[in-house]
Amino acid sequence: MIKKSFALAAASATAMALALASPTHAAGTAAGSTITNTVSVDYRVGGVQQNQVTAADSFVVDRKIVLTVVERAPIGTTSVSPGQTSAVTAFDVTNSSNETLDFALGVTQLSGGAAPRGTDTFDVTAPLLWVDNGDGVFNSATDTQVSFIDGLAADATRTVFVVANVPLGLATGAIAGVTLTATAREGGAAGLGATITQTAGANTAGKDTVFADDATGGNTASDGAGFARDDYTVAAAALSVRKLSTIFWDPVSLYAEPKMIPGAIVRYCIAVENAAGSAAATNVSLSDTLPTTLAFVSRNAADGQALPIRVNGGLTAPGGTCDPATGTTGGSNSGQTVSATLEDIAASGAKTLLFYAKVN
C-alpha cells in the first residue's frame, strides 16, 4: 500500500506540473501546449504486489484563430449634427483564440446599401481609428490613434472607436454606415505582426493554425478576419422664420382700431419655428435692422406706456402670430438694429421676438 500511495502522489505532481505548463482560458488551452496523458497500472501476481506500469501519450495543442467584432453596447446609431467634428462610433474586438495576437484594423464606408439602421445615404469625412484606454469613452487625450491592435491576449477585448467628421448641409435622417474590419496577425513582438495563414495539409508535430471564426453577422467563416457595422444618423435643425406686423396705436384713434398713419406704432413679431423630427436648435440669434421709415421705440411717448422687447414667447396657434402675453423682457437694440438670442427650440417648437417701432 505504501507503493500505491507513492504512485498517486507522483500522479498528482504530474498533474500540477501540467497545470503550470499549460495555462487555460475560456478561449482554451494555450496554443503550443503539450497535453500528456499518463496511465498507471497496479496489480498483483500470486498475491504479491508488482511494480507499477505506466504509459503516456502526448500531443500538441494547435492554434485556433477566433475573433469577433461587434458594435459596442449600447447598440444604436450615433446621432450627429451637420458639420459635427469627431463624431464617434464604437466597436469591441475580442480575441477568442488560444494565443495572444495582433489585429490589423481597417475602416470602410458603405456606398449605399443597408446600414444597421437604414439605408446609407452619405459618407463621413476622414474616419480615423482609435483604441480605447479601457474606460470605454472616446477621449483624444488618453486614447491612441492606431491602425492595428498590438498584442491582444487570449480572451481579451479592446474597444475601437471610429472618429469622423460630418459634412454640412445634410437633412435629418441621412445615414452614413461604417464598417470596422479586424484581421488576425501574428502576436508577440511590438508592432503589427506578420500575416497568419492557415496550416494546409496534414498536421505537423509543432503548432498548427486553424481559422475557426464563424459567419455571424454576414462575416466569412474561417478567414481569420471579422467585421461589424455601425452608423451615423443626422439630426439637423430645420428652422423657418416668419416676420409679421400689427398696427398697435396711432395718435388719432389711439388703441381702438388704429390706422397706419405717420406717428403710428407697429408691433413686429419674428417667429422662429423648428420642424417636426428635427434636432433641437440651440444658440439661435436674431438680428433685425429697421428701415429708415421706422424708428425703434421702447415706450409710447404720448401716454408713457412701456413697450419693451419681449423674447421667447409663443404663438397664438401653430403657424399663427405672436402671443404678446407670453415671453419675457429681453433682447436689446442698438440704434435701428434689434437683436436677441433665443432659448433652445425643440422639434415642432417655436420661439418669438416681439418689439415695437414708430412710423416716421
Q: Which residues bind to another protein, rule: CB under 8 A?
A: 7-8, 11-12, 14-15, 18-19, 22, 24, 27-29, 33, 35-64, 98, 199, 202-203, 208, 210, 212
- The DSSP code for 237 is -
Query: Which CB sits closer to another protein, 15 or 241?
Result: 15
Query: Which CB sits closer to another protein, 24 or 305?
Result: 24
In the complex, minimum distance from the CB of residue 176 to another protein, in angstroms, rounded to a whole number? 39
Burial class (CB in 10 A: 0-12, 13-18, 19+), 117: middle
Say which residues have a Cβ less than 8 Å from residue 60's Cβ, sequence separation at least 6.
Answer: 32, 33, 34, 35, 205, 206, 207
Query: Which CB sits closer to another protein, 9 or 254?
Result: 9
CA 180 to chain CA centroid, nearest Å:
13
In the complex, minimum distance from the CB of residue 27 to another protein, in angstroms, rounded to a whole number? 7
Closest CA to 294 of 341, 352, 248: 248
In the complex, minimum distance from the CB of residue 223 to another protein, in angstroms, rounded to a whole number? 16
Query: Which CB sits closer to another protein, 28 or 331?
Result: 28
- On whether the CB atoms of residues 211 and 65 are closer than 8 A, the answer is yes
In the complex, minimum distance from the CB of residue 236 to another protein, in angstroms, rounded to a whole number? 50
In the complex, minimum distance from the CB of residue 220 to another protein, in angstroms, rounded to a whole number? 19
Query: Which CB sits closer to another protein, 19 or 254?
Result: 19
Closest CA to 52 of 95, 91, 1, 111: 1
The Cα angle at residue 315 between residues 314 and 316, in degrees rounded to 5: 125
Look-up of cell digits 421667447: 312
In the complex, minimum distance from the CB of residue 65 to another protein, in angstroms, rounded to a whole number? 9
Residue 316 and residue 79: Cα distance in Å, rounded? 33
In the complex, minimum distance from the CB of residue 156 to another protein, in angstroms, rounded to a whole number? 16
User: In degrees rounded to 5, what are phi and psi of residue 10?
Assistant: -65, -40
Residue 31 and residue 25: Cα distance in Å, rounded? 11
Query: Which CB sits closer to another protein, 44 or 259?
Result: 44
Residue 344 and residue 350: Cα distance in Å, rounded? 9
Query: Which CB sits closer to another protein, 34 or 240?
Result: 34
User: In degrees rounded to 5, what are phi and psi of residue 53?
Assistant: -110, 135
Query: Which CB sits closer to another protein, 37 or 144?
Result: 37
In the complex, minimum distance from the CB of residue 32 to another protein, in angstroms, rounded to a whole number? 11
Residue count (the chain): 360
Q: Spell 211-247 as b/e; 16+ CB within 10 A means b.
A: bbbeeeeebeeeebbbbbbbbbbbbbbeeeebeeeeb
